[in-house]
Amino acid sequence: MGIAYPFSAIVGQDELKTALCVVVVDPGVGGLLALGDRGTGKSTAVRALAALLPKMRAVDGCAYACDPDGDDSACGDCPARARRGAKVKQVPVPVVDLPLGATEDRVTGALDLERALTRGEKAFEPGLLARANRGFLYIDEVNLLEDHLVDLLIDVAASGENVVEREGLSVRHPAKFTLVGSGNPEEGELRPQLLDRFGLAVDVRTPGDVAARVEVVKRRDAFERDRAGFVAAWKAADAKLRNRLVAARGRLAKTETSDAALARAAGLCMKLGTDGLRGEIALVRAARALAAFEGDPAVTDAHLRRMAAPALRHRLRRNPLDDTGSTARIERALAETFGA
Amino acid sequence: MSAIPDPAWARALLAARLLACDPHGLGGARLAGPPGPARERWLAELRAHSPAGAKLRRIPARIPDERLLGGLDLEATLAAGARVARGGVLAEADGGIVLIAMAETLPPATAAKICMVLDAGTATAEREGVSSAAPARIGVVAFDEAEPDETPLAPALRERLAFDVDLAGLRVADAPPLEPDPMDQAASAPAADEATIGWLCAAAAALGVDSARAPLFALRVARALAAREGVGRIDAEHARVAAELVLAPRATRLPVDETPASESPPEPPSDSAPPDAGPPDESPSPDTTEKLDDRVLAAATAAIPPGLLARLQAGAAGRVRGAGGRSGGVGKSGARGRPAGTMAGDPKRSGVRLDLIATLRAAAPWQRLRATSAGEPDVSAPRVRVHHGDFRVRRLKPRAVSTTIFALDASGSSALHRMAEAKGAVELMLAECYVRRDRVAVLAFRGRGAELALPPTRSLVRAKRALAGLPGGGGTPIASALDAAAELVAGVRRQGGTPNLVVLTDGRANVARDGTGGREAATAQALDAAKALRALGARAVLIDTAARPSPDARALGEALGALYLPLPQADARALDRAIKAGLG
């Protein structure tokens, strides 16, 4: 796929970058949706993430890259492998692209056609969901995805398990992944059911000032002229960020969330009238991941404030009598809850 | 033959030459205009300047995914008894240019896939048991033959093509003769200096071009121009031509007339643009000591195609429409349209198509079993045993039918004398809808409430009769009318259609929902109803039928998110044209 643009070299887009780091620190936040105009670097940021992520330990030979230390979510074969003493290897965290043209059988996995044709055997060939296990599933132009694939993804994202019942096959395997989507809402609306499954949603805009734009063009141009050199120049910055992410993951369990912070989050969600509890959970988890990322011992109002818009803006019920955008409504509720 | 080459032709052909030398770096070109000699002339230029052996592949807009990106080669697979993958056309054209005929009919999903390949330089396929990635460093030339009232090329793809060439109105006779260009084998491109990037970004900002891709393409063009001349640096002329070629066709507004320098005092580039300092639209900061951005800007402005801004305004009004374009919505299953998944089913049923590969895959595991259970060592036995239950069909989503809903103010205030005009306009629209096989509905409101004068229909005769019999006079119950329209819009949506709304009123609401009079309550309710209707996301046009443009109607139009057309002196034909422009 060539060399990806370095994450640290992305100009501006702070909300997007922070949100990506937050879902890396705590995958439990539940995925990220980046909506915005064309040419604002949504895809660039997500693709850059793949190069940034630290490697993970996985059972050698497992199609689902099961965690050798985790036992609750292993695939059907891994307990047997563990008894035989399977090797463990370091693998890169998968960032799997779901191309728009993908057929359902490639997404869920299907009958291995080759073995069926040559040997008359029934065997399962894992698909993209298997490959994305423990990593990221990236869908560019998620709003143009065909409905039946959307339904399927909603289902798997919610259960963390992919169940295949087709062509006489009956297979279930772990499929825990962080869903990352990007798209331009002007080209097609996203269905509300899918919208709600994303933990965070970010609006990506073109930088307003000319200086920032000049910087964008300059860096991109330097990258295109000498990819290897450009990546080398940013290697140190990316390594620093990677270490920060690893440290934050270690700190996450110890980062405290006080009852007061929980009450604040609940109050905010009630004021905004978000449907269900998913918004509150996403907000609290995102705030905690942000605190861990920034090295703070506990979740404070500042963390909640910063994560409120990305965690809640896509969950507000559209009020036809109120023209103000979601972000503005959240700002208002924030000011009321936390004081100006 | 004119001695001085036509500037439009010169620009168009320069784009072809540049693209021929760097197809993947520049993404490609959108070529607007009908097929004909002008297009052939442009293509000849492209061919003549392409390096020897460069590939030029034509693909149809309705190309299936497995051909575009690659997939299973079924014939070879069955013959070999093992999976054989076949590369897609985009990968086959690696290093060359892909030509897409009738690109305006490119389905959004196909356009998105081409965009993906343009971005990555790789064609990735995940289908039919094949997972492949092949290099596809291509450029795309999209022939956009859309008529002014049709949907043009998908914006996501258009955005990724450096050039936008309008060939409509160019005559081949005016084109300069085709001659080889010794500068095709360019020297190495010079480095970009800060000043050039500054000019191009400032020009892009002044023209309202938001995407970061535009200045990047412009920079690439400027650099290629400098390289062709063999000079070591990009100069003003290169930046000017690059702005003309790349930025001008993307302009969304005209820059303000005064030179930017006279509005804001010149500052050193380092602190010229503090972060988030107001909108950049009115004051592109002068990043450079030379006043070059003015010249770049002037060149770009001069090259903005005529009529572009008018079209932009119509486009901006249409921004609120959401997903439902005239042909954007998708309805229930049918035999035409884009694929919506594969399922088990009878291929003889209407609205579905046999999915051969899925069918074979369903049958594959049972072959041995079926062969043995059949127990007939017969030579005539079929090689592949397909049972009825194996059939897989592809569901397709057809384009949705548009329904235009006219909400007609028949009250006394909207003046009986305007009713005739409104009726005339509706009749003209009816004829047009009839040609397009669209449906229409008419809602009339007067007195205490609204009445559905004509439920959604395709019948021209019924519609005319309903219009002729419409009575006038009485109060103006706008809130009730909009409530009824909202119901109709939701109904059309439920049936899988795409609703368009045309409201003809003077906006002077004076009857509340409960039928009582009183301007204040009626107006407030009307605005509420308009906002609720807007949330349904139908495209709307509000035609102000008051004698003078009325602030009430304008406010109502805004609340509706509608295109507002004050037409105090309109005749039926002008109304018809306006409605078409607004919904087109």
pLDDT at B182 over 70: no
**Contact flag B213-A40 (C-beta cutoff 8 Å):** no
Q: What is the band of B568 on the pLDDT scale with cuts at 50, 70, 90?
A: low
For residues A14 and A106, membership in a common domain is answered with yes
**Contact flag A141-B112 (C-beta cutoff 8 Å):** yes
> What distances in angstroms separate CA B134 from CA A77, B51, B91, B125, B138, one per listed residue?
33, 22, 6, 9, 12
Residues 6+ apart with CB under 8 A from B445: B407, B408, B409, B410, B411, B451, B476, B477, B478, B480, B481, B484
**Letter string b/e over residues A275-306, b meaning 16 or more CB atoms within 10 A of that residue's CB:** eeebbbbbbbbbbbbbbbbbebeebbeebbbb
User: Does any domain span residue A35?
Assistant: yes
Q: What is the band of A243 on the pLDDT scale with cuts at 50, 70, 90?
A: very high
The number of CA neighbours under 13 Å toward the Cβ of B221 is: 33
Tens-place pLDDT, residues B440-486: 888 888 887 888 887 777 666 677 777 777 777 778 888 888 888 88
* B121 interfaces chain A, CB cutoff of 8 Å: yes
Q: What is the band of B305 on the pLDDT scale with cuts at 50, 70, 90?
A: low
Average of per-residue pLDDT across B255-260:
46
Rg, C-alpha atoms of chain A = 21
For residues A285 and A196, membership in a common domain is answered with no
Q: What is the band of A22 on the pLDDT scale with cuts at 50, 70, 90?
A: very high
Which pLDDT does position A288 carry in this prediction? 94
Q: What is the band of B396 on the pLDDT scale with cuts at 50, 70, 90?
A: low
For residues A195 and A328, membership in a common domain is answered with no
User: Does any domain span residue B317?
Assistant: no
3-state secondary structure of B329: coil
Average of per-residue pLDDT across A225-235:
89
Give the pair of three-digit tokens for residue A283.
């907000």
User: Does any domain span residue B380?
Assistant: no
* A43 interfaces chain B, CB cutoff of 8 Å: yes
Range with the poorest average pLDDT among A219-228, A279-288, B228-237? B228-237
For residues B407 and B396, membership in a common domain is answered with no
For residues B426 and B460, membership in a common domain is answered with yes
Number of folded domains that form chain B? 4
Which pLDDT does position B99 carry in this prediction? 92
Q: Verify whether residue A278 is a known catalytic residue.
A: yes
For residues B551 and B510, membership in a common domain is answered with yes
Residues of chain A with Cβ-Cβ distance to B68 below 8 Å are 101
Q: What is the band of A21 on the pLDDT scale with cuts at 50, 70, 90?
A: very high
Residues 6+ apart with CB under 8 A from A256: A297, A298, A299
User: Does any domain span residue B249?
Assistant: yes
Q: What is the band of B284 on the pLDDT scale with cuts at 50, 70, 90?
A: very low
* A112 interfaces chain B, CB cutoff of 8 Å: yes
* B184 interfaces chain A, CB cutoff of 8 Å: no
User: Among candidates B309, B22, B50, which has minimal Cα distance to B161?
Assistant: B22
Backbone angles phi, psi at A154, to 5 degrees: -55, -45
Which pLDDT does position B318 carry in this prediction? 34
Residues of chain B with Cβ-Cβ distance to A114 below 8 Å are 82-83, 129
**Contact flag B212-A1 (C-beta cutoff 8 Å):** no
From CA B426, how far away is CA B77, in angstroms rounded? 58
Average of per-residue pLDDT across A266-281:
82
Residues of chain A with Cβ-Cβ distance to B129 below 8 Å are 105-106, 110, 112-114, 125
From CA A94, how far away is CA A90, in angstroms rounded? 12
Residues 6+ apart with CB under 8 A from A331: A309
User: Does any domain span residue A210?
Assistant: no
User: Among candidates B546, B541, B544, which has minimal Cα distance to B554?
Assistant: B544
Substitution target from B65, B126, B482, B533 for chain A, most A beta carbons within 10 A: B126
User: Does any domain span residue A196?
Assistant: yes
> What distances in angstroms separate CA A118 from CA A105, A121, B77, B80, one per listed residue?
19, 8, 10, 9
For residues A167 and A268, membership in a common domain is answered with no
Give the pair of three-digit tokens for residue A301.
């109002």
User: Highest mean pLDDT: which of A107-116, A122-131, B305-314?
Assistant: A122-131
> What distances in angstroms separate CA A87 from CA A58, A80, A93, one per listed residue?
9, 12, 18
Which pLDDT does position B522 carry in this prediction? 86
For residues A265 and A200, membership in a common domain is answered with no
Which pLDDT does position B257 carry in this prediction? 44
What is the ipTM for the molecules in this complex?
A: 0.72
CATH number, domain with residue A314: 1.10.8.80
User: Does any domain span residue B32?
Assistant: yes
Q: What is the torsional sign of CA B138, B144, B150, B155?
A: positive
Alpha-carbon gap: A293 to the closest alpha carbon of chain B (Å): 25
Substitution target from A107, A112, A113, A186 for chain B, most B beta carbons within 10 A: A113
Tens-place pLDDT, residues A304-326: 988 988 888 888 765 433 445 67
For residues B155 and B217, membership in a common domain is answered with no
Q: With a CB-CB cutoff of 8 Å, which residues 256-315 of chain B face chain A?
A: 269, 272-277, 279-280, 284-285, 287
Residue, of B476 and A17, whose pLDDT is higher: A17
Substitution target from A96, A117, A119, A139 for chain B, most B beta carbons within 10 A: A117
**Contact flag B201-A107 (C-beta cutoff 8 Å):** no
Q: What is this structure's pTM?
A: 0.65
* Annotated catalytic residue, options A57, A278, A288, A332: A278
Q: Strand B85-87 and strand A32-36: pairing?
A: unpaired
Residues of chain B with Cβ-Cβ distance to A144 below 8 Å are 108-109, 112
Q: What is the band of B297 on the pLDDT scale with cuts at 50, 70, 90?
A: low
- Which structural domain range is residue B198 located in? 189-266+280-311
From CA B444, how far away is CA B410, in angstroms rounded? 6
User: Does any domain span residue B391?
Assistant: yes
User: Does any domain span residue B273?
Assistant: no
- Point out the domain boundary residue: A135, A170, A204: A204
Q: At what angle do helices B416-436 and B460-468 cross, to 10 degrees?
A: 180
3-state secondary structure of B503: strand
- Which structural domain range is residue A319 located in? 259-338
From CA B166, how far away is CA B30, in angstroms rounded? 8
**Contact flag A210-B131 (C-beta cutoff 8 Å):** no
Residue, of A231 and B307, whose pLDDT is higher: A231
pLDDT at A234 over 70: yes
For residues B79 and B134, membership in a common domain is answered with yes
CB A125 within 8 A of CB A169: no
From CA A236, how far away is CA A224, in angstroms rounded? 20
From CA B96, how far away is CA B47, in angstroms rounded? 11
Which pLDDT does position B570 carry in this prediction? 55
Minimal Cβ distance to B124: which of A97, A107, A112: A97
Which pLDDT does position A325 carry in this prediction? 64
Minimal Cβ distance to A104: which of B124, B341, B365: B341
Name residue A316's beta-bridge partners.
none
User: Does any domain span residue B81?
Assistant: yes
3-state secondary structure of A33: strand
Tens-place pLDDT, residues B1-40: 445 667 788 888 889 988 888 888 889 999 888 888 888 8
CATH number, domain with residue A48: 3.40.50.300
Which pLDDT does position B120 carry in this prediction? 81
Residue, of A319 and A334, whose pLDDT is higher: A334
Q: Strand A169-174 and strand B97-100: pairing?
A: unpaired
For residues B25 and B142, membership in a common domain is answered with yes
Q: At what angle do helices B194-206 and B292-302 cross, to 10 degrees?
A: 50
Q: Report how far apart the first and last C-alpha atoms of chain A are (Å, whole number).
A: 47
3-state secondary structure of B432: helix
CATH number, domain with residue B532: 3.40.50.410
CATH number, domain with residue B166: 3.40.50.300
CB B474 within 8 A of CB B427: no
Number of folded domains that form chain A? 2
User: Does any domain span residue A247?
Assistant: no
Average of per-residue pLDDT across A119-136:
84
Q: What is the band of B262 on the pLDDT scale with cuts at 50, 70, 90?
A: very low
User: Does any domain span residue A212?
Assistant: no
pLDDT at B43 over 80: yes
User: Does any domain span residue B433?
Assistant: yes
Alpha-carbon gap: B211 to the closest alpha carbon of chain A (Å): 5
